[in-house]
Amino acid sequence: MKIRENRVLIATTNLGKLEEFKNILETPECTFVGLDEYPQVKFPAEGQSYFENARIKARTAARQTGLVSVADDSGLEVLALGGRPGPLSARYGGPGLSDFERSAYLLSELETLGAVSRLARFVCVAALAIPDGPSFTEKGTCRGVLLQEASGTRGFGYDPLFVPEGYERSFAELSKNEKNQISHRGIALRAISAHLRKESFLS
């Protein structure tokens, strides 16, 4: 199937993610646009699975705009919390919290539990949807440990709490490139990029 335009819609309202998508995907043949140009797109409520959520976001955007669309669903899984918050990471602790408040809530939970293990991993499932065509999903994970308190000012979400395996700085202390090289989103989106580059999807 040939797509008429090489415009690719990045279907996320999270500005932290949007910047990472643009940096990681960087496919010269494509022009990446955000949802700010397509404010009419309406997404259904999210479910409990990364795969289902990522696919629904990308397919919804592709159907409503006619553009090739990419999206992701991601989360932080903490071993001592049995994998929580997982796909519910964005809403953990309740609606309306800032990233900082959400991180503080997570730390207070670990403290209340007296958790010894600080092991955690980030998970990202990225999806690519071709209008009236196939969809692709790819998963990336990044293992690490959680700090006792937030450290660093870059990134978004739980970045200031998370030190990836083999590093001594948190995601929020790494440069954008350093994070994208090893992150769950970097891994998943580079695999999506390979699908995107396939001649058949570009005019």
Check binding of 86 to ligand IMP (CB under 6 A).
no
Q: How far is the CB of 73 from ligand IMP (least distance, A)?
A: 4
Contact window for ligand IMP (CB under 6 A) among 2-10, 26-34, 37-45, 150-158: 150-158
Is the distance from CB of 93 to CB of 105 less than 8 angstroms? yes
Which residues in the 105-144 window bind ligand IMP by CB under 6 A? 122
73 catalytic per annotation: yes
Closest distance between ligand IMP and the C-beta of residue 75, in Å?
5
In DSSP terms, 143 is beta-bridged to 121
Q: How far apart are CA 200 and CA 67, in angstroms?
A: 15
Residue span binding ligand IMP (CB under 6 A) among the ranges 30-38, 110-118, 151-159, 191-199: 151-159
Q: How far is the CB of 55 from ligand IMP (least distance, A)?
A: 13
Does 180 contact ligand IMP by CB under 6 A?
no
DSSP 46-82: P-S-HHHHHHHHHHHHHHHH-SEEEEEEEEEEEGGGT
If you search the block for the tokens 């809403």, which residue do you land on? 91
Give CA separation, 12 vs 37, 86, 174, in Å.
12, 18, 23
- Is the CB of 3 or the CB of 81 nearer to ligand IMP? 81
For ligand IMP, the closer of residues 90 and 202 by Cβ is 90
